[in-house]
């Protein structure tokens, strides 16, 4: 099916992430009364690059990998978005993530458009040398559309500061001088910023705090379950525990652990560092990812992959608050069920926006070659994310809509305002 054939009636949002993103957009476009031409522009990515590239493996053989870099909209500024390495990366997944990045950047009011990238691979099966060669070749393939004034990648699923350092070095070697601003989330030694690694998880903690305040619930003592104990989930769990929350369950791709009295998060982090999983942590009992989602907790943080809360299991979700650390963890059918049950959702485009906010701070510092202290970065993050939360809540109150619809209304409206201000070329 080509993009032009994606009528509203043809969408399958429960099984396709891009269809889910489109369904969300069309619902908001109707509320904002956008004209058909504007809707058509925003329903389509501006630019899509698909690359098939060879990588020499350690045994001398050659494998061909498929990668993507998609820019959804550039009306508000250069494209911004992460690069993920995962076996299930698909074109439609990256399209959806790029669209959500457009709205996310607008919701937190930074001058970026949305992009996303990915390579279909399993980094767990690659040696460090193979991972570096894959990253450098992929960077070379997409270098025609990235750059500090064009498109700035960042870490995502299974990529980190080291990978960003390879991208920065590869791009810099091609242009003949160092370009720190081509990526964010890179090591401090190459122009990274303090606070970036923790930013997305810190943002989830701040949004959980604001949600409990909105509902009149104490944050200290609140019970928390975190699905996905990677960079986002582990930092969120650690910071929520520091705020006095009782983190009773966490999980990763290998399994999970539950303790009703609360888990010792520092000990769990040490266990994961040794074993690369939270499974088999002795200070708790095993729990599956499905069971974790359905625990009777105050706050649920889905911070794994998309499509975890669906129409099939939404009626069994017992959390009072859902803070979406992952992108697209809740399907439209699940949204309808949860909203009817008055579950308070901090949607992904707001809940996990701490990462792109601090990425913006890093980019600004790189461009001016002047760096801020971590305390200043965290203060700026808190101020801007809290302001964005209040913008969304005010829209929800004024228009009588749920929080996801309100967040998307804020983001889409700001993008449309930029498009109208710039006009249609030629």
Active-site positions read 116
Q: At 267, list the tokens.
A: 């000990």
Number of DSSP helices (H) and strands (E) in the chain, helices first: 14, 12
33 Cβ contact list (under 8 Å, min separation 6) = none
Using an 8 Å Cβ cutoff, are 199 and 378 in contact? no
Handedness of CA 168, 172, 178, 179 (dihedral sign): negative
C-alpha 194/C-alpha 185 separation (Å) is 10
Hey, which bits of 57-158 come out as E strands? 62-73, 79-86, 113-120, 151-155
3-state helix, strand, coil in the chain (%, to 5): 50, 20, 35
Integer Cα distance of 363 and 378 in angstroms: 15
Distance CA 89, CA 156 (A): 12
Strand 255-258: give its sheet, edge to edge: 285-287, 255-258, 246-252, 223-227, 299-302, 321-323, 344-346
202 near 235, Cβ under 8 Å?
Answer: yes
Report whether the peptide linkage leading into residue 363 is cis, meaning its omega lies within 30 degrees of zero. no
Peptide bond into 426 cis (omega under 30): yes
How many residues are present in the chain?
426
Read off the DSSP letter of residue 56. Answer: E
d(CA 413, CA 30): 12
Rounded-to-integer distance, Cα 229 and Cα 352, Å: 14
| CB neighbour list of residue 30: distance below 8 Å, 6 or more residues apart | none
d(CA 225, CA 320): 12
Closest by CA position to 76, among listed 327, 317, 418: 418
């Amino acid at each position: 099916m080509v993009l032009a054939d994606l009528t509203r009636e043809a969408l399958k949002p429960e099984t396709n992430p891009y269809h889910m993103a489109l369904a969300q957009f069309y619902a908001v476009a109707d509320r904002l009364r956008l004209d058909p031409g504007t809707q058509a522009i925003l329903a389509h990515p501006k630019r899509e690059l698909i690359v098939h590239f060879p990588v020499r493996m350690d045994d001398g053989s050659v494998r061909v990998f498929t990668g993507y870099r998609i820019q959804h909209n550039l009306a508000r500024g250069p494209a911004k978005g992460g690069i993920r390495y995962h076996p299930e990366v698909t074109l439609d997944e990256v399209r959806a993530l790029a669209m959500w990045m457009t709205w996310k950047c607008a919701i937190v009011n930074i001058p970026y458009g949305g992009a996303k990238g990915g390579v279909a691979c399993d980094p767990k099966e690659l040696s460090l040398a193979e991972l570096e060669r894959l990253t450098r070749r992929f960077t070379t393939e997409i270098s025609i559309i990235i750059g500090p004034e064009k498109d700035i990648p960042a870490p995502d699923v299974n990529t980190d500061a080291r990978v960003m350092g390879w991208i920065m070095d590869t791009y810099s070697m091609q242009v003949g001088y160092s370009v720190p601003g081509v990526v964010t989330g890179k090591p401090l030694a190459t122009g990274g910023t303090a606070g970036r690694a923790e930013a997305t998880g810190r943002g989830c903690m701040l949004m959980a705090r604001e949600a409990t305040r909105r509902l009149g619930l104490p944050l200290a003592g609140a019970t928390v379950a975190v699905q996905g104990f990677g960079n986002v989930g582990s930092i969120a769990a650690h910071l929520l525990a520091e705020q006095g929350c009782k983190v009773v369950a966490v999980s990763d791709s290998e399994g999970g652990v539950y303790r009703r009295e609360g888990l010792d998060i520092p000990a769990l982090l040490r266990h994961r560092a040794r074993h690369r999983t939270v499974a088999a942590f002795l200070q708790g009992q095993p729990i599956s990812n499905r069971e974790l989602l359905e625990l009777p907790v105050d706050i649920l943080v889905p911070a794994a992959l998309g499509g975890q809360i669906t129409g099939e299991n939404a009626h069994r979700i017992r959390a009072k608050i859902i803070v979406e650390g992952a992108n697209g963890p809740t399907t439209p059918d699940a949204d309808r069920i949860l909203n009817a049950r008055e579950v308070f959702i901090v949607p992904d485009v707001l809940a996990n926006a701490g990462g792109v906010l601090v990425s913006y701070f890093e980019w600004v510092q790189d461009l001016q070659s002047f760096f801020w202290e971590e305390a200043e970065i965290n203060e700026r993050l808190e101020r801007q994310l809290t302001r964005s939360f209040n913008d969304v809540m005010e829209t929800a109150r004024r228009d009588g809509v749920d929080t996801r619809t309100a967040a998307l209304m804020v983001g889409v409206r700001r993008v449309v305002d930029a498009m109208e201000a710039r006009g249609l070329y030629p």
